[in-house]
Amino acid sequence: MKINPHIFRGYDLRGLVDNDLNSEIVEHLGKAYGTYMKRNGIKKAVVGFDCRATSEEYADALIKGFSWAGIDTINIGMNLVGTFYWAQYYLKAKGGTFVTASHNPAEYNGFKFANDYSETLVSDGMQELRRMVEEEDYEQGEHKGKIEKQDIRAAYFEDIIKKLPVEKKFKVVIDSSCSTAGVIAPDILRQIGCEVIESNCAIDPTFPLGTPDPTEMVVAERLKNKILEVGADLGFSYDADGDRIGIVDDKGNIIWNDVLVALFSIDVLHKHQGAKIMFNTLCSKVVPETIKNYKGEPFMWRTGHSFLKKKNQEIKAAFIGELSGHFFFSADFYNHDDGLYSTLRLLHYLSRTNQSLSEAIKALPKYISSPEIKVGCGDDVKVALMDKIAEKLRADYPQAEVIDDERAGDGVRLEMEDSMFIVRYSQNGPYLTVKFEAKTQEKYNELRKYISELLYKYEEVDWSFGVNVESLN
Residues noted as catalytic: 102
Handedness of CA 370, 212, 386, 378 (dihedral sign): negative
Q: What is the 3-state secondary structure (H, E, C) of the chain?
A: CCCCHHHECCCCEEEEECCCECHHHHHHHHHHHHHHHHHCCCCEEEEEECCCCCHHHHHHHHHHHHHHCCCEEEEEEECCHHHHHHHHHHCCCCEEEEECCCCCCCCEEEEEEEEECCEECCCHHHHHHHHHHHCCCCCCCCCCCCEEECCCHHHHHHHHHHHCCCCCCCEEEEECCCCHHHHCHHHHHHHCCCEEEEECCCCCCCCCCCCCCCCCHHHHHHHHHHHHHHCCCEEEEECCCCCCEEEECCCCCEECHHHHHHHHHHHHHHHCCCCEEEEECCCCCHHHHHHHHCCCEEEEECCCHHHHHHHHHHHCCCEEECCCCCEECCCCCCCCECHHHHHHHHHHHHHHHCCCHHHHHHCCCCCEECCCEEEEECCCCHHHHHHHHHHHHHHHCCCCEEECCCCCCCEEEEECCCEEEEEEECCCCCEEEEEEEECCHHHHHHHHHHHHHHHHCCCCEEEEEEECHHHHC
Cα distance between residue 454 and residue 412, in whole Å: 14
Cα distance between residue 127 and residue 109, in whole Å: 18
Specify which residues 415 forms β-bridges with: 401, 420
Cα distance between residue 321 and residue 300, in whole Å: 10
Specify which residues 369 forms β-bridges with: 437
